[in-house]
Amino acid sequence: MNSIAICFVCLGNICRSPSAEAVMRDLVERAKLAGRIVVDSAGTGDWHIGEPPDERAQKAAKKRGYDLSTLRGRQVAAADFARFDLFIVMDDANAAALTAICPPEHRGKIRLLMEFATGDDSRVVVDPYFGGEDGFEKVLDQCENACQGLLNALRAQLRA
Ligand code: 4NP
């Protein structure tokens, strides 16, 4: 495979999926694979279209060197299913909502982010929106772990 396009998906596209997008983009750039791995994010819901990421997500990310300020919320669109090779979702509700609108031939592209983590048995990245700041730190810990695993899996695909 010459290039791979991945889209991280959560509910609002203002907390978890933009965090994952920024973490993954950083890893991809460090690996000098920016020309071969396209990274984006979107939400299944429409409440936060056009908005920057949640202030708490931006603040937690900035402490670790990730800049979320230029990202804007968007909703998954029908055209995305052909455009992306993988949809990396945060939880089971995201998977169900995406599956419901995904053409059957593209459903195999939907995977849980935490499938790619090592040393963390969590099935999902829990929605931090209604919780405290520690929830945003946990989101970043999980994204850093799982995105490294995802990058390793993508490297194997790019070699194949
Ligand atoms: P996200 O978090 O799915 O990680 O972006 C949420 C953001 C907003 C809402 C829920 C979850 N909301 O209900 O508006």
Does the pTM exceed 0.85? yes
Alpha helices, H only, 31-64: 55-63
Q: What are phi and psi of 144, to 5 degrees?
A: -65, -40
Q: For residue range 63-72, what is the model confidence (pLDDT) as tens digits?
A: 999 999 999 9
Ligand 1 atom 13: residue of nearest CA: 12
Catalytically annotated residue among 7, 15, 16, 102: 16
Active-site residue identified among 7, 10, 15, 143:
10
Percent of the chain topping pLDDT 90: 99
User: Would you state the structure tokens that stand for residue 138, as one six-digit string?
Assistant: 């946990």
What Cα–Cα distance (Å) separates residue 68 from each residue in 40, 87, 88, 117?
12, 20, 18, 22
The residue to which tokens 């990274």 are assigned: 39
Half-sphere exposure of 29 (CA within 13 A, CB side): 8
Domains and CATH numbers, the chain: 4-159 (3.40.50.2300)
pLDDT tens for residues 106-128? 999 999 999 999 999 999 999 99
Residues 71-83 pLDDT 10s: 999 999 999 999 9
Cα separation, 25 vs 42, in Å, equals 15
